[in-house]
Chains A and B, each alone.
Chain A
């Protein structure tokens, strides 16, 4: 296996390890609060069926004779699990041991630890504990360690004793502040974001559910008939109420989650902190960043804003998202590209993007036809349940579908563009909501050029640039075949990586 090279700006010799005597510690238990905090959803899912079976065997669910012994057993099991869960820190690795019947010993080599996250939920804040998560570069799914929960002092001690992570626990160290979002921006982001749709979707689902149960009249006509003229006002008022509730909920949730959003650059790492009551605190090494997506949703674009998503690799896809996908909720449009470049470690100028060939337009339109065909069919089906089917309706629906698909295809084709410098590769797409993805050429794992017969006829192909991590591949659809080949050939050579501290 190739040995892992050091990150770009680290000195050639191994990083000076802060290894004070207190760093090495013998097997320690978690904070007692983890008796409660340490219960995970998975554990609940595993024990509930067994508990229910036991309870019904003992005397029926709900009867005290059954519930009390079962509860006592569960509590006893939890206490034993807590007592048997230990972690041990030596100069070189962290060892976690847990399990009652099935013991698990997990060793994480400190040299491989790439990210350290310290989270405090609301309860943690009150009690004085925090969740500490260690993640490594291995994407193989092992080697992720989560200590839920330890005391805040222990969390800072752990953080301080991990090599390279020279962070004084909890406080923001010196460094350059790259992002600090004012509350107003967070609020705006919350109100224009996807969470806004959560309430209406839930309500819509509920109504559908009620209809299926037969509690509400199925035919729209019958409902209108019943309510009469005054009913329309009632429905309108209800809709408005739902909208207001949706806005308020989205606002509150957004502020709680992202309030006081800050990113500082400290050396080769990005320190991210966000959250009003429950804070999330993460260190993301710039070298771990795989790609950055700049998003302009329709509404935000109209207001002159956009958002950024940072994707970093490393660590399993299991519990603890650990900022593998970190969203900067809002930024002014003019600041988006410079910010993305700075977050990538001053990786050089944004590549000049060139639009994809004109002859690609029919292909892009065809793609939208395919994308919308199924949802349109489903929509039409639902519509026929509410409104009587006539020939005119079908025609109108088909025309609407054709117009929408073609319109979106044309819009997207106008946005399709891509470009490359020696250090970065960029692809832009999207019809209403535009998305521009930039990745350092140093992160390219491999490339694929794919062509369908239709594309070949027009001398087009699609280039897929594979990047590790949750962001997926950078895709340049319907690009000229020569351009694809050039990109592929250029990306095969040993590239220069982004992320060095030097400009």
Chain B
């Protein structure tokens, strides 16, 4: 079992992206709740609206930072590992020789923040790994590194003991 926690983190700019995404979801919901409270004027509806607003603040103010802290990844011993999650925690690992191809994707928000998502694809879609915030300057190099690692690892295994799929 790997004793030390994976050490590398995502680019800090990803926290801002997550906050923006969170806000875009939270603000309409909170506004709707407050609007309903104002319109109906009932006491308990106001309580609900306040609760929703508080939840929204937590979701945008605290959650992205905490999730960022929890997201760790590493590439060592020929294995790509990711640890993430606050409530539901996940430890995922993919051996390098299983990498089929790697995607670099970018939405408009990511472009504005200078980030890319790096997605490692294997033959089983469920095993795919995603690094949701890698700096644009670093992403292509990281992809090339991982692909080279995959190629070398596959070459080691090609004495016939490991199947392509």
Contact = CB atoms under 8 A, between A and B. Distances in A.
A7 B150 contact: no
B51 interface: no
Contact of B87 (A452, A495, A496): A452
Contacts of B95: 446, 492-494
Interface stretch (B39-47, B64-72, B120-128): B120-128
Interface in A1-22: 1-10, 12
A449 interface: yes
B155 interface: yes
A496 B161 contact: yes
B1 A1 contact: no
A499 interface: yes
A459 interface: no
A112 to B, nearest CB: 10
B117 interface: no
B151 A5 contact: no
Nearest to B89: A451
A466 B164 contact: no
A485 B1 contact: yes
Contacts of A442: 161-163
A456 B157 CA distance: 36
A324 interface: no
B156 A449 contact: no
B142 interface: no
A472 B126 CA distance: 8
Nearest to B154: A2
Given A314-B165, A494-B95, A445 B101 contact: no
Interface in B115-148: 122-124, 126-129, 147
A456 B90 CA distance: 12
A336 to B, nearest CB: 24
A494 B97 CA distance: 8
A139 B101 contact: no
Contacts of B87: 452-453
A360 interface: no
Nearest to B82: A448
B123 A445 contact: yes
Interface size class of B (residues with CB under 8 A): 35 or more
B124 A489 contact: no
Contacts of A448: 90-93, 126-127
B79 to A, nearest CB: 5
Interface residues of A, number: 51
A5 B162 contact: yes
A110 interface: no
A445 B94 contact: yes
B163 A446 contact: no
B88 interface: yes
A468 interface: yes
Nearest to A482: B1
A454 to B, nearest CB: 10
A362 B101 CA distance: 41
B90 to A, nearest CB: 5
Nearest to A448: B92
Contacts of B150: 2
A453 B86 CA distance: 9
B63 to A, nearest CB: 16
A497 B99 CA distance: 17
Interface in A287-315: 287-288, 290, 313-314
B151 A473 contact: no
Contacts of A467: 124
A445 B124 contact: yes
A447 interface: yes
Interface in A433-454: 442-453
A450 B93 contact: no
Nearest to B159: A5
A495 B162 contact: yes
A5 to B, nearest CB: 4
B158 interface: yes
A468 B162 contact: no
Interface string B90-113: 111111011111000000000000
Q: Which 9 A-B pairs have the closest CB atoms?
A: A446-B127, A2-B154, A466-B127, A5-B158, A468-B123, A446-B94, A445-B124, A485-B1, A445-B127
16 contacts: A1-B101, A2-B151, A2-B153, A2-B164, A3-B154, A3-B158, A5-B164, A446-B126, A448-B92, A452-B88, A453-B87, A464-B126, A467-B124, A472-B126, A488-B1, A497-B162
Given A1-B151, A139-B123, A472-B126, 12 more contacts: A2-B151, A5-B164, A6-B160, A314-B165, A445-B123, A446-B94, A446-B128, A446-B129, A447-B93, A448-B91, A493-B95, A494-B95
Interface of A: 1-10, 12, 137, 139, 287-288, 290, 313-314, 442-453, 456, 464, 466-469, 472-473, 482, 485-486, 488-489, 492-497, 499-500
Interface of B: 1-2, 77, 79, 87-95, 97-101, 122-124, 126-129, 147, 150-151, 153-165
